[in-house]
Amino acid sequence: MDTLKFISILFISFLFIRCNNNEYYDDNNAFHSIYLLEWNSSICPKKIIFKKYNKNSNFKTLIETNTDFEIQCYTQYDKFNNKITTPNSTKLREFIPNFKNNDKINYDVKLIIDDSLEYKITNIENIKDTIVKTFTLARKYFISNTIKSIMVNGHKVNNDSRSLEIPSSLGRKIK
C-alpha cells in the first residue's frame, strides 16, 4: 500500500514539475496558408498568382509576384481531368505558400486563381498573438501573426486565423 502511495505521489509531483516548464514557439510567417471557402466547382485549381502591392496604392505599385504554392483540395482526383471523384467533398481549397512570407502583412494582395477569378485583398488587420498548444503536459505556447479581418473586393470578412480565409463567392471573374 505504501509503495502504491509513493508511486502515486511521485507521478503527481512529476506532472506538476513538468507542467511548470513554459515553452514558446515563434512562427514569423505573415500567414500560414490561403483557404478558399465554399468552393462550388468540382475542378481543383491548378494555377495561383499571388501579387503584393504597396498598401493603399490602389494596386498600382507592384512589390513582387509569387506562384509557388502547394495546392490541396482534400479529396481524390480523377487521373484524366482532375475532377473530384468524391460526391461529398469538403468544398475547401487550401493554398500553402512555398515562398518566404515573413513578418506582418503590410501590403495589399491580389490573388488570381486559374486566370479566371480575382480577389483584391486590402485593409488586412493582423496582430501578433499567443495560442496555447493543446494536448501537451507542459505549457507550450505558439506565437504567430493572426489575421483579424480583411476586405475582399470591397466586402469586409472577419478572419481571426493564422491563414487567409476567403469566401470563394467574393471572387471577380476575369474576362
Q: Is residue 3 in some structural domain?
A: no
60 pLDDT band, cuts 50/70/90, is very high
Q: Is residue 9 in some structural domain?
A: no
For residue 83, what pLDDT is reported?
Answer: 47
Q: Does residue 18 surpass a pLDDT of 60?
A: no
Amino acid at the residue 122: T
Give the range of the structural domain holding residue 142, as residue numbers without chain letter.
23-173
For residue 165, what pLDDT is reported?
Answer: 87
Q: What total number of domains does the chain contain?
A: 1
Q: Which three cell numbers stand for residue 60?
A: 498600382
For residue 24, what pLDDT is reported?
Answer: 72
Q: Is residue 31 in some structural domain?
A: yes
Q: What is the DSSP letter of 162?
A: S
Q: Is residue 33 in some structural domain?
A: yes
Q: Is residue 52 in some structural domain?
A: yes
Highest mean pLDDT among 22-31, 102-111, 123-132, 138-147: 102-111
For residue 82, what pLDDT is reported?
Answer: 52
| End-to-end Cα distance, the chain | 80
Mean pLDDT of 65-73: 87
Question: In Å, what is the CA distance from 143 to each residue of 29, 113, 162?
Answer: 10, 30, 10
For residue 149, what pLDDT is reported?
Answer: 84
Q: Is residue 2 in some structural domain?
A: no
